Chain A
Amino acid sequence: ETGVTQSPTHLIKTRGQQVTLRCSSQSGHNTVSWYQQALGQGPQFIFQYYREEENGRGNFPPRFSGLQFPNYSSELNVNALELDDSALYLCASSLLREPTSAYGYTFGSGTRLTVV
């Protein structure tokens, strides 16, 4: 599958710093969701944005925040980084209300964040 682009691909940050990860949605998709995937684990839902508003959130603290822009691209911001934030961060775009669409939930390749 193609269409969802994430940047950067790799990132190293120091504990306490802030980081911004970016996601460009697949054309025609209006929803973006973010996931954190620790090594050897399944992805954990962080939050979802639909038409620039957060419409669902997982069990993550407020220092994880996001934005969705009018072109449906998105940012994930993490403040006060902790060592446990080291993970692969995945972005997925979809067209809400058509979950069975062949183009639903397209994932990007992820950003590998390492906190030292």
Chain B
Amino acid sequence: KNQVEQSPQSLIILEGKNCTLQCNYTVSPFSNLRWYKQDTGRGPVSLTIMTFSENTKSNGRYTATLDADTKQSSLHITASQLSDSASYICVVITGGYNKLIFGAGTRLAVHP
């Protein structure tokens, strides 16, 4: 069964601190992996897109890693800001008609 599991479920950090979110997946066939940021009640916004051959990709203060052998990905947020408070969702795109398999998300709260 295609699954995407994220940890932790929720996280509270202080403004300015770094954090790392984890994503493990069992999806086949694998096309690519994406991290999305979702504010409450809003649609997800893409942060990074990684294909099988990419190990690291950055987007400003966000850096995603992918280990296709262990089927693990991480999202590292540097120097967190209050506006980083949101849910971060790991999505794996499977082949065929490019179906998206969503993780349940990590809810991040950044406190002053």
Residue positions of A touching B, CB distance < 8 A: 1, 4, 6, 31, 33, 35, 41-45, 48, 50, 55-56, 88, 90, 92, 94, 96-97, 99-100, 102, 104-110, 112
Contacts and interface: CB of A to CB of B under 8 A. Distances in A.
Given A41-B104, A99-B32, A1 B41 contact: no
A1 B49 CA distance: 14
Interface stretch (B60-68, B75-83, B94-102): B94-102
Main SS of the interface on chain B? strand
A96 B93 CA distance: 12
5 contacts: A42-B102, A45-B99, A48-B99, A102-B49, A105-B46
Given A100-B49, A100-B51, A109 B99 contact: no
Nearest to B9: A40
Given A94-B98, A96-B97, A110-B41, A42 B46 contact: no
Nearest to A41: B104
